[in-house]
C-alpha cells in the first residue's frame, strides 16, 4: 500500500506542477517550488500524519516528479504522458537511486530519464503519430545519412 501511495505522489507531482504552470501561468520553477513547499511543509509540521517510511520518501519523490512537470507544453502536452513519466520516475528512484550518486543527483537524473523515455514513445491519439523525440531523432538520422551518402558519392568519383 505504501508503494502505491509513492507512485500516486509521483503522478500527482508531475501533473499538478504542469497544471499550475500552464493554467495559472506561474512559470515552471515557481510552480515546482510552490507545490514542493506545500508538500514538504505539511510533512515537516505534521510528520505523524503518515508512516515514517512515507514521511521519508514523499518529499523527494514529489520534488523529482515536479521536475517532470516543468516540461514545456510544446514538448509534452498530455496528462497521460506526464502521469506515465511520474510512474517511470518513481520506479527508477525507488529501485536505482543509489546508482545515480555523482551524476547531478538522483532526482534530476531520474526525472530526465523518465521524461526522455516518455518523449520517445509515440502516442497513437496524436495527429502526427510521432512525438517530438522521435521527430528529432528522425531528423538527426536523416541528416547523418545524407552526409554519409554524399561522402560515398565523392569516393567513387
Given a cut of 60, whether residue 153 has pLDDT beyond it is no
Given a cut of 80, whether residue 16 has pLDDT beyond it is yes
Give this prediction's pTM: 0.76
Asked if residue 93 lies in contact with residue 63, where contact means CB atoms within 8 angstroms, the answer is no
Return the SS3 of 26: coil
Amino acid at each position: 500500500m505504501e508503494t502505491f501511495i509513492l507512485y500516486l505522489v509521483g503522478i500527482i507531482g508531475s501533473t499538478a506542477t504542469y497544471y499550475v504552470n500552464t493554467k495559472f501561468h506561474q512559470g515552471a520553477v515557481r510552480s515546482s517550488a510552490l507545490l514542493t513547499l506545500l508538500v514538504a511543509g505539511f510533512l515537516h509540521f505534521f510528520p505523524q500524519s503518515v508512516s515514517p517510511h512515507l514521511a521519508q520518501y514523499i518529499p523527494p519523490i514529489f520534488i523529482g516528479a515536479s521536475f517532470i512537470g516543468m516540461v514545456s507544453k510544446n514538448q509534452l502536452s498530455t496528462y497521460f504522458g506526464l502521469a506515465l513519466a511520474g510512474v517511470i520516475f518513481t520506479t527508477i528512484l525507488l529501485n536505482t537511486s543509489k546508482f545515480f550518486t555523482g551524476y547531478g543527483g538522483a532526482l534530476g537524473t531520474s526525472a530526465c530519464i523518465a521524461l526522455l523515455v516518455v518523449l520517445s514513445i509515440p502516442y497513437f491519439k496524436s495527429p502526427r503519430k510521432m512525438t517530438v523525440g522521435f521527430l528529432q531523432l528522425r531528423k538527426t538520422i536523416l541528416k547523418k545519412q545524407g552526409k554519409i551518402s554524399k561522402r560515398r558519392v565523392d569516393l567513387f568519383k
